[in-house]
Each structure stands twice: as C-alpha cells, then as structure tokens.
Chains A and B, each alone.
Chain A
Amino acid sequence: AQRVTQPEKLLSVFKGAPVELKCNYSYSGSPELFWYVQYSRQRLQLLLRHISRESIKGFTADLNKGETSFHLKKPFAQEEDSAMYYCALRVAYSGAGSYQLTFGKGTKLSVIP
C-alpha cells in the first residue's frame, strides 16, 4: 500500500542551523514526490517537486530510491521558514487513469531566533 511517513510532528531549530525534514515513502510504482508548505494563515503551496530538481527558498530534496526517502534540507534556517511542511506522493488511483497526491501527516518547523 502507498504511504508517506513524516516521523517528526514538530522540529525546532535555531536560526542559522541546518534543517532536515524527513520523509519516507512506500509505493510499488515509480515514485513522484513533492513538498508542500503552509505558512501561518496562508494556503498550502507547492515548494518542490523531485522531478524538477530545483531549489526553492534555499530548500532542496533528493529522491533516494534505495532508502525510499525524500528528505527536505536547508543549510541555514531562517525565521521565515517556520511553517507546516507536508511531503506528498503521487499515486495511481482507482479508475480513469487517475493520479492523486497522498500526503504525510506533516511536520511543523519552528525556527528559534
């Protein structure tokens, strides 16, 4: 069964410290993974997709198929990075050749000044 696991509900780091938000997945197909972010009082927005291999706001994530992981990293945390982060896996769903996003439970990142 497809599953996305984010083991940390809350992660607190000091400003300027490195950040790593963990994400592991379970999926029998070829995985496509995303990170979404929700800042306080704002809507969820796409942060990264592994296919594009881009860096957004200093964050990067590498898909590791051997470890079935897609951890989100940033070398130096900023206060404005404080938010809720969701890892998501694109999975095939029922009929009509449809795909959906299955989300992890989220990790709340708190950057301490």
Chain B
Amino acid sequence: DAGITQSPRHKVTETGTPVTLRCHQTENHRYMYWYRQDPGHGLRLIHYSYGVKDTDKGEVSDGYSVSRSKTEDFLLTLESATSSQTSVYFCAISAQAGDGYTFGSGTRLTVV
C-alpha cells in the first residue's frame, strides 16, 4: 500500500457540472499536489498544498479550486467542468517540498 488513494478512479460527467476529486493520504506528509496528465503535455501542476489550509496555484490552475481542511485530505474541485478538463488527474504527496513524490493511482475524468 503506497499510503495514498484517489477517488473516484473513473468519472464521466457533463459539461457545466461541478466535480470534486479526493486525495487521501495516511503518511502524514505535509505537502500534497494535484497534477493533470495529458498526451503531449506530460504532467502539469494544478495546485499544491504546504499545510492544512495552506494552498497555492500551479501552472494550470484556471477552472480549478482546492481545499485542505485536514492533513490527510486534499480535494480538487472543478467548479463547472469543461471538455478541456478531460484528463487523468494525479495526486502526489511528499515529506519534503518538491522531493520524493509518492503518486496516487490517478483519476480518469471525462467531460462530455
């Protein structure tokens, strides 16, 4: 068990609906990250957290918001899903900032 789980694993949603993805860790790591993975773009940082209630924007944050009310959970919300947000979303955790990431299994989101 890698100590990090993402839910759901797969989701299909309609354009304009809100969607929340969950990342849960059992490692008590301070840092948590959300990335999206797209062909031809690799992994791009959406948002990250450096502590409870401490979050900041990444490279591609438009259309996304996050919340971290407790150490173990980092939520990613698409306020109004668009087709351009169809992607595979990965959560990662680390004890040190930007070092030794452990990744979740990913959530495949399809917006139709």
Contact = CB atoms under 8 A, between A and B. Distances in A.
Interface of A: 6, 9, 32, 36, 43-46, 49, 86, 90-91, 93-106
A90 B99 CA distance: 7
B98 A96 contact: no
A104 B98 contact: no
Contacts of B99: 32, 49, 90, 99
Contacts, number: 67
Interface of B is mostly: strand
A91 B98 contact: yes
A86 B92 CA distance: 15
B43 A103 contact: yes
Interface residues of B, number: 28
Contact of B58 (A43, A90, A100): A100
Contact of A100 (B33, B41, B42): B33
Contact of B2 (A43, A86, A97, A101): A43
Interface of B: 2, 31, 33, 35, 40-45, 48, 50, 54, 56-58, 90, 92, 96-101, 103-106
Contacts of B56: 93-96, 98
Contact of A98 (B2, B35, B48, B106): B48
